[in-house]
Amino acid sequence: MKKILVGFIAMVMIFSFVSVVFAGGKQEAKGTTALPIKTTSMDDLIAKAKKEGVLVSYGLPDDWVNYGGIMKIMKDKYGIKDMDTDMGSGTIISTLKSEKNAPVADSTDLGFNFATVITADGLSQPYKNQHWNEIPDYAKDPNGLWSAAYWGTIAFTVNTDIVKNIPKTWADLLKPEYKNMVCIKDPRESGTANMMVLAAAYANGGSVDNVRPGIEYFKKLKKAGNIKPVRPSTSAIQKGEAPIALFWDFDGLSKKYSLGMDSLKIVIPQDGTVAGMYIQFITAGAPHPYAARLLIETEYSDAGQIEYAKGFVHPIRKSVKLPAELAAKFPPAEDYKVVSFVKDASVLGKAAKEIAKEWDEVAAIQ
């Protein structure tokens, strides 16, 4: 999920808002009839969503950041059934475009780098949930066309049965003791690996505007013989074939608890790393607009944010207090102080292209 695409600048349709909290617009898709979307209160929204009774989503399988828990709320509390088709981000974008004249999906979830595509191509409609003011400005479109409900960060997943001296920084990974231990994916094929290189760039004096330090870092890591030619899959980790895996902290935590591997320790590199946000929105021609709005409300509610945390991602709303038992499963909060947020989706897209192009230099090292 979440491959990088580059959009073009286009005019975005202007929608009218019917209230401050329940900001609605109109369904407008070429060849369809514009239907007014109006709600006067949360109770009114719930009643209308219940009447629709169904929600169609793309790319929200139960095991992706615990969407199963969020959809359970929709079903148990409101009687709304979810019909999801799992697909990658690139496929979601192309499908939404191809279905613009006959919309099917109501809602989806994409990486932050797709925000510019969503707005430029008019693939969403505005809606501001009840907790809109709690969402940081960099994590939402000012007009309500999208917002990010959660985030993760690039981390080290270390198998302590194999690695006795736990690395705490990117600099540590360059040490001879980690020879043939570090497992990564290819940044030319994986959005996660692409962010991994960006994280290394930040740790070595770079930024989203200067990714070169990340490329140079991995050239050093490969020359040192520390990169093991094994992809950090669930199977490889379970078999002990991936002593140190570099990917999202939520991936590592999920594997730790789903596999029952207490030996896995998730480390936030203390010389710097980056966060990756994921955005949610209501599709431009959502056939079930009220159910889609109720899903957004559920995702950003206290209960919804906690469900996301059960999928080991971080709620965007800082006011949400996690149950002590759940919070204890994450690395210490102070470890996350080194995390940097990329706040411009268009710049992130440019950085991703540059990383993919320059990775050939790393791949060429024997």
Residue with tokens 């302590």: 160
Class of the domain covering 152-274+334-363 = alpha beta
Beta strands in 244-310 (DSSP E): 244-248, 264-267, 273-283
| DSSP code at position 169 | S
Q: Which residues contact 146 (CB under 8 A, 6 or more apart)?
A: 115, 118, 119, 124, 140, 279, 280, 281
pTM for the predicted model, two decimal places: 0.89
Rounded alpha-carbon distances, angstroms, from residue 234 to 77, 181, 251: 34, 16, 9
pLDDT digits (tens, 9 = 90+) for 215-244: 999 999 999 999 999 999 999 999 999 999
Q: Is pLDDT of 365 > 90?
A: yes
CATH fold match for the domains 26-151+276-327 and 152-274+334-363: yes
Strands 107-111 and 147-159: unpaired
Mean pLDDT of 170-195: 97
Mean pLDDT of 193-211: 98
Q: Which of 31-35, 169-173, 197-201, 228-232 has the lowest mean pLDDT?
A: 31-35
Class of the domain covering 26-151+276-327 = alpha beta
Mean pLDDT of 88-94: 92
- Tokens representing 261? 């591997």
pLDDT digits (tens, 9 = 90+) for 273-312: 999 999 999 999 999 999 999 999 999 999 999 999 999 9
Sorted by where each begins, the domain ranges of the chain are: 26-151+276-327, 152-274+334-363
Query: By C-alpha distance, which of 209, 169, 198 is closest to 344?
Result: 209
Q: Euclidean distance between the first and final Cα of the chain, in Å?
A: 30
Q: At what angle do helices 191-203 and 212-223 cross, to 10 degrees?
A: 100
Supply the Cα-derived Rg of the chain in whole angstroms. Answer: 21
pLDDT band at residue 36 using 50, 70 and 90 as cut-offs: low
**pLDDT of res. 5:** 32
